[in-house]
Amino acid sequence: MMEQTLYEKVGGEQAIEKVVEYFYHELVLKDDTVSHFFKNTDVKKQIGHQTKFISFALGGPKQYTGKSMAKAHEGMNIQPAHFNAIATHLHDALAHFGVEEADIDTALTKVASLRDDIQYK
């Protein structure tokens, strides 16, 4: 039997969309240290992009066709503290929906691999 991808394990795109909605509405947009990055963002559109991106990052189908991470974060000057806050919020959103800690670690390792494309741009 083939091992499930993390994408399948967490429940696919619909489940990931719920995590992403919670991530933005309950965590990121309520955090004064990072919410300013999203003040001119169409959050509904952002949730769609982020859902596709995280789905792909967790082993789901490649549907993310947005800008590269470096291009998407250009001019934002995201510092390590900002990156870490977002990673913590992602951890907490996944945990809120019952994702196991080992699986959260796998997801955050994938996110951490993008650090150089996101910070200091």
Q: Residues marked as binding for heme?
A: 49, 73
Helix (H) or strand (E) holding 53: helix 43-57
- What is residue 4's three-state secondary structure? coil
- Binding-site positions: 49, 73
Q: Looking at the DSSP assignment, which residues form a beta bridge with residue 78?
A: 119
What's the farthest any 2 CA atoms get from each other in the chain?
Answer: 46
Alpha carbons within 13 A on the beta-carbon side of 28? 25
Q: Is 26 helix (H, G, I), strand (E, B) or coil?
A: helix
- For 62, other C-beta atoms within 10 Å of its C-beta total 8
